[in-house]
């Protein structure tokens, strides 16, 4: 509990800083969202009324304080483009992004952890070399190129999966899985490559430890030594990396969601930036920052569970 509270206290200034930075950046973007909405020939009185409605005629600091105060009471404002509540738009977009992130995570763990374990336990073998090479290729592969190639082969040529679109899981699970397959694979491959390398490095370190030597001297089967004893300790840094990857998911989904027209928070943010829809951009960035902070917090908590030595560390 003390660890949780300490971490939360340290993260609040970061959240505030992110809010301020995003607000400042958006205020500096040239172009007037009211002009973008009403056009250059708009009635000046109507434009002035719209600016007053969204407080765009107020000084920057005042606008920020008002916005922050509203956010703390759950009011993220309304989209300048659509008039919809920003909170609704962000909450709606968050669901597909979280689905995509979790599927990508599942794919990456299913690939990376066994590959990393086998690679480390058969060091310098052909399997090790092959797995390391594939991981390096995965790290170097631009995700949007992989997305385009997956669309080309699996969607256009083989018609196995649709190239774009989203189906909520509860509406039709089978179609939902078909639609999420390509974007999740795109994200998952990049995550898997980094996770596999970390798993391999952590396993090599664990397999070199004295307790492993003892376990082998006691005559335990190699498979048991690797999967039961070494892997457990090797998972600690892997958990940290996976947490970091999830926290940075927002960066990865922006391009993937754009390529696959996935209606997640990345696509919402990019579309809003181009439309100068400031309230939506601020809401989306805040949501991404909160997600990042919460995932990091969860990672720290899981870390403390896995490694008892971390429980007292502030």
Partner 1 sequence: MTRDGRSAIGLVLVVLLVLAAVAGPWLSPYAPDQADFLATLAPPSWSHLLGTDDLGRDVLTRILVGARVSLLVGVASVGGALLAGVPVGLAAGYFGGTVDMVLMRCMDILLAFPGILLALGITAVLGASLANTILAIAVINFPTLARVARGQALLVRRLDYVKAKRALGFDNGTILLRCVLPNILSPVLVQASLLLASSIITESYLSFLGLGVQPPAPTWGNMLRDAISFLDQATWLAWFPGAAIFLTVLGFNLFGDGLRDRLDPRG
132 strand-pairing partners: none
Can residue 108 be called a binding residue for partner 1 (CB under 8 A)? no
Residue reference for tokens 């958006």: 26
Phi and psi at 85, nearest 5°, equal -65, 130
Question: Sign of the CA dihedral 167, 173, 179, 184?
Answer: positive
Q: Which residues between 251 and 290 bind partner 1 (CB under 8 A)?
A: 251, 254-255, 258-259, 269-270, 273-274, 285, 288-289
Can residue 14 be called a binding residue for partner 1 (CB under 8 A)? yes
84: left (phi over 0), alpha (psi -120 to 50) or beta: beta
Angle, helices 265-274/86-121, rounded to nearest 10 degrees:
130
Residues 4 and 298: their CA atoms lie apart, in Å, by 9
Binding mask 188-227 for partner 1 (x = CB under 8 A): ----------------------------------------
8 Å CB contact between 104 and 84: no
Can residue 106 be called a binding residue for partner 1 (CB under 8 A)? no
Among 67, 262, 278, 292, binds partner 1 (CB under 8 A): 292
Coil/strand/helix, residue 167: coil
Can residue 144 be called a binding residue for partner 1 (CB under 8 A)? yes
Q: Which residues between 112 and 141 bind partner 1 (CB under 8 A)?
A: 129, 136-137, 139-141
Q: Judged by CB, which is closer to partner 1: 62, or 133? A: 133
78 strand-pairing partners: 85
User: Could you tell me the smallest distance in angstroms from the CB atom of residue 55 to partner 1?
Assistant: 20
Q: What residue ranges bind partner 1 (CB under 8 A)?
A: 13-15, 17-18, 21-22, 25-26, 28-30, 129, 136-137, 139-142, 144-145, 148-149, 151-152, 156, 248, 250-251, 254-255, 258-259, 269-270, 273-274, 285, 288-289, 292-293
């Amino acid at each position: 509990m003390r660890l949780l509270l300490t971490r939360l206290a340290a993260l609040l200034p970061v959240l505030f800083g992110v809010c301020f930075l995003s607000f400042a950046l958006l205020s500096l973007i040239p172009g007037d969202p009211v002009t973008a909405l009403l056009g250059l020939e708009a009635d000046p009185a109507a434009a002035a009324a719209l600016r007053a409605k969204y407080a765009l005629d107020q000084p920057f600091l005042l606008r920020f304080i008002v916005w922050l105060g509203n956010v703390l009471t759950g009011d993220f404002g309304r989209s300048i483009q659509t008039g919809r509540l920003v909170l609704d738009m962000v909450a709606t977009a968050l669901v597909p992004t979280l689905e995509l992130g979790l599927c990508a995570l599942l794919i990456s763990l299913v690939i990376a952890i066994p590959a990393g374990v086998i690679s480390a336990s058969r060091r310098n073998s052909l399997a090790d070399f092959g797995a390391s090479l594939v991981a390096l290729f995965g790290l170097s592969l631009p995700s949007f190129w992989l997305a385009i190639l997956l669309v080309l082969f699996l969607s256009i040529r083989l018609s196995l999966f649709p190239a774009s679109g989203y189906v909520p899981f509860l509406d039709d699970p089978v179609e939902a899985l078909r639609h999420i397959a390509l974007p999740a694979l795109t994200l998952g491959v990049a995550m898997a490559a980094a996770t596999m390398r970390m798993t391999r490095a952590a396993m090599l370190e664990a397999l070199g430890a004295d307790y492993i030597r003892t376990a082998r001297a006691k005559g335990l089967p190699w498979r048991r030594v690797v999967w039961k004893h070494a892997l457990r300790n090797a998972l600690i840094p892997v958990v940290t990396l996976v947490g970091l990857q999830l926290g940075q998911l927002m960066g990865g989904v922006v391009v993937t969601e754009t390529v696959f027209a996935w209606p997640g928070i990345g696509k919402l943010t990019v579309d809003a930036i181009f439309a100068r829809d400031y309230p939506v951009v601020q809401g989306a960035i805040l949501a991404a920052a909160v997600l990042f902070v919460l995932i990091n917090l969860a990672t720290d908590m899981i870390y403390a569970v896995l490694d008892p030595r971390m429980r007292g560390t502030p």
